Amino acid sequence: MCRLVLLVSSAIVVLFAFVSSAAAQPPVVVTGQTTPVDSGYCSSPVYRSDVFKLTTITQPDGTLITHIDRILTFAANGKTLTSDDHFTRFVDPAQPFLIDIAGHLIAVELPGQWPVLLEVGHFVVDVRNPGAPIIEAGQHDTLDHDTAAFCAYFAA
């Protein structure tokens, strides 16, 4: 599900790639929110939604740089956890199918305790083949399917 959300948001960036020109352009800012969907991280539904701001800059060579600020919310069984996220996506016009993402994608902490879900660092995904191995550096609990502590919180 995380990959699906990344792919959908990345499709927006790829769309910008097709309308970019060689001239410098002012940033394009898009704000919005998503409706709750099952995160797919656990055996029982844990719903995720977010409020976001995307700021996209098109470089003269057509490279798209999108900075994402969002508040991600997870909810299930009367419990809610949030993550205040900030990350950047890069799309090279020569290879628009490769989405390069770096930053703080998800950091969910139990109240007053420790992180139970982290998605931080750097990774590259190929939108042509979402099931293919990705290049990654950092801690990527959702991509690595290491979500047991996160799921246990919502199951209890």
Tens-place pLDDT, residues 102-126: 999 999 998 888 889 999 999 898 9
- Name the residue with higher pLDDT: 134 or 47: 47
Residue 30 has pLDDT above 80, yes or no: yes
Instruction: Indicate the pLDDT class of residue 97, thresholds 50, 70 and 90.
Output: very high
Give the model's pLDDT for residue 9. Answer: 47
Number of H helices, E strands in the chain: 2, 8
pTM of the entire predicted model = 0.78
Rounded to the nearest integer, the mean pLDDT of the chain is: 85
